Structure 1
Amino acid sequence: MNLFKIPCALTLVALASAPGSVYANEGGWYTTAIFGVASQSDQAMDFTGNGNPQTANSRLSSGGLAGAALGYGFPSGWRVEGEFIYQSVDAKDPGLLPPAPVGKGDYASTGFALNAVYDFDLFGSTHTTTYLGAGVVKLTEVDFDFENNGIERSYSGSDTAIQLLFGARYRLGERFFMDAGLRYLKASSVRLESENGTLGQIRADYQPWAATVALGWQF
């Protein structure tokens, strides 16, 4: 999150100090294929079931992201888009379920987002534009899967989140463009139920950030 705040703050300053720098695009429909590297800080897992409530930290690291978006741009510089994103980071079970030892797994999600994005000319280039956006995300599934001693365990749930977007687009030609960006998603205290219904539930924040690249085509 701290890494994400820096470019966002710089962008807001640029917008406030240069109101005439809005990028006037031609508008119209576009679609993008999105890929990236996701990461998340360690999360506290609150476990209830099988006795007294327990809390422990799960160590999380990096993983991958993939998805696609369909959007429409207005000549004013605003865009609206819908997207589907899957992302996952590697995780270590914090050992909440005795007598099982710590196990390895992943913390992942699928979600649909509706984003509002603002394009502006930060670099004074006819080919490159920067953007800042925000979106509402329906996390259709958040799951925490892990394995220890050959036994697989899975917890899953759904929630609503918000996300912030920052990046730049480079036009490759009349129709194609490339996109590089940062994004941060936040959902607080997501309830994850045991998928076999006998191992209680886990509550944890879900807040990955990701660096992405995308290839797009304008209709």
Structure 2
Amino acid sequence: MKIQNMLWGAAFAALPLAAQAQPISGVYVGAGVGANWGVATDLRPNGALTAGLRSAGFPANDGRTSFETGVVGVVSVGYGFGNGLRLEGEIGYRNNDANGISGFGPAVGSGRIPGTNGTRHTASFMANALYDFQIPGVPWVMPYIGAGIGAALTGFTSSASTFTVPGTLVRTDYNGDITVFAYQAIAGLAFPIAQVPGLAVTAEYRYFATTEVKYSTTASFAPTGRQLATGSITVDNGNHSALLGIRYAFNQAPPPPPPMAVAPAPAPARTFLVFFDWDRYDLTDRARQIISEAANNYRTVGSTRIEVSGHADRTGTHAYNQRLSERRASAVAAELVRQGVPQGAITTQGFSFDRPLVPTAQGVREPQNRRVEIVLR
């Protein structure tokens, strides 16, 4: 319990460094460590092992083993699509000491068998799909959920177990590591670090399990080593994990600059706004009327140049909206030329979603931010 409290405490200690949480776009890497709690499992001998032991005069009922709190570590490489969805490949490792064995016959009842020990280790190779959520009004944290499937290589170290039958000892040996199908469920929180765009501290809960693991088993008479029976013992492999980690997304766009001081508004006849539909840069009839007014004003007022600036709302990636804002500016500039304004008098530029007219959170469609500003100088 102390390990779990330390993990969560460390995660919340990072909150003063938090920045605006944004979905990942592009490649990222991650790693995490923490505590692992193995679920207690029955030890189920198969028919051959059961029959061999009983024919030799020994009970062969099911046993049960539990586990001490162990450790878990994971590393991952993934790709985010900018809309909350992420796919990643992950390598993990779990290690738990066995907390004794009980059962295996009326001679030992439900008490723990003295002298039994061993460590269960599991290496996993997983493919995960995850989804990040943005919480309105809570910019410093991004929850996420996910699931994964893959393969696990699992086995016991020093796994020989000995159980007592009146006046005798029977020894069972589990042989080798076994590869089995594995699956997991993930729930976590990411806390972005303002000083390093793309860097985040993560806190996760995971449930990791495999299909049944069947170990080849040999039972022998402990005092002499005489073999009594061979067969297999089947166990389950379930785990609850709590991890604290770190994640870094490459090429993550820096957060937008703080709002600039508002300059005095220019005379209404010197600035014109042209608005666009979402994810479009073609001109509507109303847009052409406004551009025509700007062209007429250029001729009557005697301006020397026209600045055409394209903008976008905060949906999609920064790079995509940069191209979209430039296309909007180019469309307006082309219409100004068609209306008689000299090409050499026009300068165009795009600002993606860095200069919103109405500040919004990432992912919000705001019509007033999808605009081109025409400024006569």
User: Does the TM-score normalized on the shorter chain lie above 0.5?
Assistant: yes
User: Which amino acid is the alignment partner of residue 30 of structure 1?
Assistant: Y
RMSD: 2.9
Identical residues among aligned pairs (%): 23
Contact 1:79–1:116 (Cα < 8 Å) also in 2 = yes
Q: Which runs of 5+ in 2 are unaligned?
A: 1-20, 55-59, 105-112, 163-170, 219-228, 251-377
How many correspondences in the alignment?
193
Question: C-alpha separation between the residues in 2 aligned to 1:41 and 1:71?
Answer: 29
Secondary structure of 1:214's counterpart equals strand
Query: CA shift at 1:190, angstroms?
Result: 1.6
C-alpha distance 90-125 of structure 1, shift in aligned 2 (>3 A): same
Aligned to 2:71, which of 59, 64, 82? 64
Does the 8 Å contact 1:66/1:87 carry over to 2?
yes
Which residues in structure 2 correspond to 1:1-16 (within 5 Å)?
Answer: none
Q: Which amino acid aligns with 1:214?
A: G
Judged with a 3 Å threshold, the aligned counterparts in structure 2 of structure 1 residues 109 and 203 are, in CA distance, closer, same or farther, namely: same
Point out where structure 1 has 5 or more consecutive residues left out of the alignment: 1-22
Output the TM-score relative to the length of structure 1.
0.77
Superimposed CA distance per residue, residues 134-174 of structure 1 (whole angstroms, 9 cap, x where no aligned partner):
110211x111233568x995443111021100010011130
Which residue number corresponds to residue 201 of structure 2? Answer: 178
Cα contact 1:93–1:102 (8 A) shared by 2: no
- 4+ residue runs of structure 1 moved beyond 6 angstroms? none
26 and 203 in structure 1: CA distance in 2 versus 1, 3 angstrom threshold: closer
Query: 1: distance between equivalents of 2:233 and 2:23?
Result: 46
TM-superposed deviation, 1:84: 0.3
Question: 1:39/1:95 Cα in 2 relative to 1: closer, same or farther (>3 Å)?
Answer: same
CA distance in 2, matches of 1:62, 1:26: 33
Q: Which residue of 2 aligns with 1:214?
A: 245
Normalised TM-score (structure 2): 0.46
In 2 relative to 1, CA 26–104 (structure 1 residues): closer, same or farther, beyond 3 Å? closer
Equivalent residue number for residue 212 of structure 2: 189
The aligned counterpart of 1:133 is 146
Equivalent positions of 1:19-168 (< 5 A) are 25-48=23-46, 49=49, 50-52=52-54, 54-91=61-98, 92-94=100-102, 102-122=115-135, 124-139=137-152, 141-145=153-157, 146=159, 153-155=173-175, 156-168=177-189
Query: Cα deviations across residues 96-154 of structure 1 (Å, max 9, x unaligned)?
Result: 5xxx9551112220010000001002473323100010110211x111233568x9954
- Cα distance in 1, alignment partners of residues 45 and 136 from structure 2: 49
What secondary structure does 2:137 align onto? coil
